[in-house]
Structure 1
Amino acid sequence: MKLNVGDRIPNLKLRDHNEEEVTLDDFDGKNVLLSFHPLAWTSVCRDQMQALEANYEEFEKNDTVPLGISVDPIPSKRAWAEKMGLENLRLLSDFWPHGIFASKLGIFIEDKGISGRVNILVDDQGEVLWIKEYDIPELPDMDEVLDAVKNNS
């Protein structure tokens, strides 16, 4: 992974599961948690996204917006969000060009065609405040994530 705390991420411009465009400009004055997961419809990824949804209010209290991101296409993300009953969490698609945003961040796993499992906390200008990479089968520790959010709000 190339990113470090203090680095700036490239411009975020992806569509969510409702086909709405999402950029960092949408979150003026807030931090953004970019929660990358390899693929929708897998158990660890489901648990990761459901943990973000379950703690959405805690993120809001700390002026942070969590976003789930994977290389899955928008229709798959929409069906998955409906299946999980997500009401707040937005799921972003890095599908086309395939994995381009994850590639720019240095977290795209070329031979598998997926992003790594990574949480990146950035401010509204794209400066990395906190970053953690996980093994693909590892579920991120939500307490650790929320501590990072609280410490950077």
Structure 2
Amino acid sequence: MPLSVGDTAPNFTVKDTIGKTVTLSEYAGKTIVLYFYPKDDTPGCTKEACSFRDNYQQYLSQGITVFGVSMDDSASHQQFTEKFNLPFPLLADVDGAITRAYDVLGDRNGTLYSQRVTYIIGGDGKIAQVYTSIQTESHASDILSAIGA
């Protein structure tokens, strides 16, 4: 069961696509879209990532930071980012620590993965919205509509 609206977003420190260290608490005061997805370069995950790519300027103009999270490593994230020209960081949760902290760990035939769940984290560090039923192609624009952007 994913975390709920009003819960404090668990802090984390992890490497992003280019090996830069990202710590959630460093983004205090900012709105964050933290979207979890199962695997780089698969059909649904590609549609979702491209949805964020295509709406990214609108997120920036609203002062919203976007992070994608999966259990793929940085090398996989780099290939995925380059192939689809993704302008936002992907977080390499190779040990599943973030996925577990946000309670979105899935298991398919013994293979662990991040379930497709998106959290909107407010500037106060609390979860403002949770999306568990996601239309991958329109997800990013659906969020913008929901937050009135």
**Aligned twin of 1:150:** 148
> CA separation of 1:150/1:29 partners in 2, compared to 1, >3 Å: closer, same or farther?
farther
Give how far 1:44 is off.
Answer: 0.9
Q: Tell me, what secondary structure is at the counterpart of 1:45? A: helix
Aligned partners of 2:28, 2:7: CA distance in 1, in Å?
19
Aligned residues: 146
Moved over 4 A (4+): none
* Mapping of residues 84-103 of structure 1, within 5 Å: 84-86=84-86, 88-95=87-94, 98-103=95-100
Give how far 1:126 is off.
Answer: 2.5
Q: TM-score, normalised by structure 1?
A: 0.86
For structure 1, the 5+ residue unaligned runs are none
% identical aligned pairs: 25
> CA separation of 1:2/1:46 partners in 2, compared to 1, >3 Å: closer, same or farther?
closer
**Aligned twin of 2:46:** 46
Kindly indicate whether residue 76 of structure 2 is the aligned counterpart of residue 79 of structure 1.
no
Give how far 1:7 is off.
Answer: 0.3
Note if contact 1:62-1:150 (Cα within 8 Å) is conserved in structure 2: no
Give how far 1:124 is off.
Answer: 3.5
Give how far 1:78 is off.
Answer: 0.7
Q: TM-score, normalised by structure 2?
A: 0.88
**Aligned twin of 1:131:** 130
* Mapping of residues 3-22 of structure 1, within 5 Å: 3-22=3-22
Aligned partners of 1:148, 1:67: CA distance in 2, in Å?
18
